[in-house]
Amino acid sequence: MGWLVVAVLVIVAATAAYVLAPLRRRGAAAAGAEPDDRAAERARHLRALREIELDFRTGKLSAEDYQALRRRYETAAIAALKAMER
């Protein structure tokens, strides 16, 4: 019977850690992004730039929408790059 209580406590603790992990990461981002986080953010923006270019070339985006999204993601990628340099 004692091992059952221990097993349940271990499962509850693991589940709580899994559920609360995103909240801890969000709190760390608010405190100040780590260099790895900034690099990941820059990579995410560059990936989005490639995706919108593909969407534009395949006709899924109008030229106007493409230009607006491109400016937005380029600005964000540059900001992430500058933040990495600090």
Distance CA 51, CA 42 (A): 14
Q: What is the pLDDT at residue 64?
A: 95
Evaluate whether 61 touches 55 at the Cβ level (below 8 Å): yes
Query: How many CB atoms within 10 Å of residue 65?
Result: 13
Q: What is the pTM for the complete model shown?
A: 0.54
pLDDT one-digit tens code per residue, 20-77:
777 666 555 545 556 677 778 888 988 999 999 999 999 999 999 999 999 998 998 8
